[in-house]
Chains A and B, each alone.
Chain A
């Protein structure tokens, strides 16, 4: 047969084989890869969702407007998205096992970003997660509080209002930029008063090697759009009459400030002392605002404690690590409650000191997202 004929047959044969395979793959993707519609039964049937299978449980729930906390965008690197799945989850995958201990596995707790929705599922979602939404916001202002902490004010655009309880936090989404190829989610406590429903303030501290904080410090400017979701957390001021001890340093002030502003606005004048631990005067900020709050709340005292004041600071206030200062101030804390916000090390040390003064552990509250 002629060369053209041979050529055409050769090309035709290979194309046909490749086309058949491609078609088989497309069909497979549509059939085998398509898990069809599945039913998700939440909280004993309280809510029933019909969703498309094939995605992670985290994404599927997000599409249905239910936001499960996640600091890593579903990549299995933060462990915050744990949910109790009573049936339908399948086997624990290798990407989940580092995050689940024996007790959790026995209880059916899984990492929802790693569980693929393939069949009907029965799961439990904590009630407070139902009020979480995703918000589109715009940066209204950025102000330096110290050399390494900025206050970022975000105006809510869509939805335009958020119901906040003082002490809650939001997830801030830093978009892909520079060296960072994917969006990154980080949690920041809300520092503004709950009465301001259409804007929120965050206190963000520059963390060395931090993907999100580097973005905030080097790229973010007024007018930029920011996506956040929330509000999350079970850290809030309990009702009652007990005297309060607040302990927080650095950007940990955020939820405490929110609580104090809330107390001032509502006239909750319980006896309260706020121990702000810092190293030197350059780490102190919003002192004027704290003094103003002392005027509005006569039973509130702000006690900044510097652990290593610089000579030029000429510091006349409390000296020492915050736990030492706390120790000096009280003989007994048996009737108090405490609200802590800061690094795990500081929280552990504070809890030890507080218990040593007679405070029962169930009256010590802190945000566990640290």
Chain B
């Protein structure tokens, strides 16, 4: 069996939100981040959905990888399998949410199909294998990664709502200023590095 990284889940969680923020440090999940970060309400809905899906994706893909793919020597099929699993489970989650809570469905149900192909979700899955997290750490990473992504998009939505009335140069409106702001946020988050001894 593989040698797992000895890091504890709490450290991973904290790291995923601040020092290893999947959006601001690894720059994954930018497309929906750029398009849905205009208002705080939809950003919150999307953020919540990403937390959900990322945690679920990690929770499911970890056992499939270590108990099915590795013993059969099929690691090379990993990419295809992870995506199939993510897509399938998101569908299921959507159905369950719709049935169980209308309020929740109205808030984030419509975002679920959108993040199936969000590269941050897929990235989180790959990172958990690259960094050899054990199951607890993987779960923490999925949850924390989603939280970090949500934190970034909420902050960005707040910023964009504030600068909506600002006199920007025409060329910078929209994606231009958003990316610049994202870059500055990333610089700010770099200040957290070294806080936790993690991978």
Task: Tell me, yes or no, whether A and B come into direct contact in the complex with CB atoms closer than 8 A.
Answer: yes
Q: Is A349 in the interface zone, CB < 8 Å from B?
A: no
Q: Is A10 in the interface zone, CB < 8 Å from B?
A: yes
Given A9-B72, A21-B88, A33–B77 Cβ distance below 8 Å? no
Q: Is A90 in the interface zone, CB < 8 Å from B?
A: yes
Q: Is A103 in the interface zone, CB < 8 Å from B?
A: no
Q: Is A25 in the interface zone, CB < 8 Å from B?
A: yes
Q: Given the complex of chains A and B, what is the CA–CA distance between A13 and B88 in angstroms?
A: 16
**Contact assessment for A14 and B88 in the assembled complex, using a CB-CB cutoff below 8 Å:** no
Size range of the chain A interface in the assembly = 20 to 34
Q: Is B190 in the interface zone, CB < 8 Å from A?
A: no
CB contact between A93 and one of B81, B96, B99, B106 (< 8 Å): that residue: B106
Q: Is A334 in the interface zone, CB < 8 Å from B?
A: no
**Contact assessment for B72 and A25 in the assembled complex, using a CB-CB cutoff below 8 Å:** no
CB contact between B81 and one of A9, A14, A22, A91 (< 8 Å): that residue: A14
Q: Is A107 in the interface zone, CB < 8 Å from B?
A: no
Instruction: Report the minimum CB–CB distance from B78 to chain A (whole Å).
Output: 11
B92: which A residues are within 8 A, CB to CB? Answer: 24-25, 28
CB contact between A25 and one of B69, B73, B91 (< 8 Å): that residue: B91
Q: Given the complex of chains A and B, what is the CA–CA distance between A25 and B84 in angstroms?
A: 12
CB contact between B88 and one of A6, A9, A24, A118 (< 8 Å): that residue: A24
Interface flags, B48-68, vs A, CB<8A=1, else 0: 000000000000000010001
CB contact between A21 and one of B72, B84, B96 (< 8 Å): that residue: B84
B106: which A residues are within 8 A, CB to CB? Answer: 91, 93-94
Instruction: Report the minimum CB–CB distance from B179 to chain A (whole Å).
Output: 30
Q: Given the complex of chains A and B, what is the CA–CA distance between A161 and B184 in angstroms?
A: 73
**Contact assessment for B80 and A14 in the assembled complex, using a CB-CB cutoff below 8 Å:** yes
Interface of B: prevailing SS: helix
Given A28-B95, A32-B99, A91-B103, A10–B88 Cβ distance below 8 Å? no
Q: Is B159 in the interface zone, CB < 8 Å from A?
A: no
**Contact assessment for B102 and A14 in the assembled complex, using a CB-CB cutoff below 8 Å:** no
Interface flags, A63-94, vs B, CB<8A=1, else 0: 00000000000000000000000000011011
Instruction: Report the minimum CB–CB distance from A283 to chain B (whole Å).
Output: 48
**Contact assessment for A14 and B99 in the assembled complex, using a CB-CB cutoff below 8 Å:** no
Interface flags, B15-43, vs A, CB<8A=1, else 0: 00000000000000000000000000000
**Contact assessment for B95 and A17 in the assembled complex, using a CB-CB cutoff below 8 Å:** no
B74: which A residues are within 8 A, CB to CB? Answer: 9-10, 13
Q: Is A50 in the interface zone, CB < 8 Å from B?
A: no
Q: Given the complex of chains A and B, what is the CA–CA distance between A218 and B104 in angstroms?
A: 47
**Contact assessment for B73 and A29 in the assembled complex, using a CB-CB cutoff below 8 Å:** no
Residue of B nearest to A18 (CB): B84
Shortest beta-carbon contacts, A-B, top 4? A21-B88, A91-B102, A32-B99, A90-B102
User: Which B residues are within 8 Å of any A CB, using their own CB?
Assistant: 64, 68-69, 72-74, 77, 80-81, 84-85, 88-89, 91-92, 95-96, 99, 102-103, 106
Q: A13-B69, A18-B88, A33-B95 are in contact. List 12 more A-B contacts (CB 8 A).
A: A9-B74, A10-B72, A14-B80, A17-B64, A17-B68, A18-B84, A21-B85, A22-B88, A24-B88, A28-B92, A91-B106, A93-B106
